[in-house]
Structure 1
Amino acid sequence: MPFTNYALDKFFVQGISELSECNAPALAEHFAEVEDLIHNFILNSIFRYSIKTEYKPYIFGIFRRVQMALVEYQNGRTLLLLYLNESKKNTSLYFQALSHFEIAVTQLYQAYEFWRKLGKKIESKETNLFEKGDGSSLEKLNRLYNISKHLEASTIPEGNLHHV
């Protein structure tokens, strides 16, 4: 027996009863080579480009996290679509989707952090990913990352059950 809209909003997630479509676009077609990203990097570094050993940990960190961010994003999207297609009967699917999206945010932000650190190593100067208050996609990504990372119950807005 499915929960009523009131029960969904009151006891699971605020506003979940209004969720009727998945607005997370499919990314797989845009990133067809993501499965081979690390493999291709290794082959290219062997046969085409000489990459300083001191840079390789950063590059591996970027590629691994980008790859997993895309995998986790797709997992989250798949589960969210499944939740919606099952007429919202299995709320566990929603929370599984949310967890995958949170992991995707974490992986992507950490990839940018590796990028920033690699830039600092190459240029020997501090570089920022964004300027505070610039409204950029990276600033928004940082906000989501920090909300998820530093979750404290006391910071959840009144009437909400979850921060993200």
Structure 2
Amino acid sequence: MALTFELDPKFDRTLRDGIAELWTDVSNAGGAVGFVPPVTADDVRPELVSHLVAMAEGRTRLLVGYDEEGAVAATAFLALNTHRLMTHWLWLYTVMVHPRHQGKGYGRDLMDAAAQAARGMEGMEAIRLTCRGGTGVDRFYTSCGYKEVGRVPDAIRVADGDDRDDIIMLLPLG
């Protein structure tokens, strides 16, 4: 069964806790979403709060995918550029699909829903994202139409002696 996506859902405690749980589970499964396992929901919450502040300020929009039981199964944050010379593209952050739902095509569905949401925003021409090298996720984004446009070698330190490239990818929306 497919996920049901909602852009800018009504935010409440249930959604907040669902995103925190998703983020924790994805991180602990090895997902490259800003943390290195092991993490707890308490570790994730401060970063989630910063995303929520950006949403409240109108700088970020939230896309949520719900599974057939109504649980948060996927998310992506669409961060708008506030710089007047860069308002024609946005950043896609914290792209996650719960580990129990991976391998079902939901990641591609999430990326399609994010692109559709961006296309619905006036004047939006492209989506940029970054991803952690060494995970293979750049191949997934390439299969979704993104193209590598930059790379910062050894920019992400996941552990002593384990530095990864920060890969910048772009999806033109035209």
TM-score of the aligned structures, taking structure 1 as reference length = 0.28
Q: Which has the higher contact order (CA 8 A, sep 6+)?
A: 1
Higher fraction of strand: 2
| Higher Cα Rg, which structure | 1
TM-score of the aligned structures, taking structure 2 as reference length = 0.27
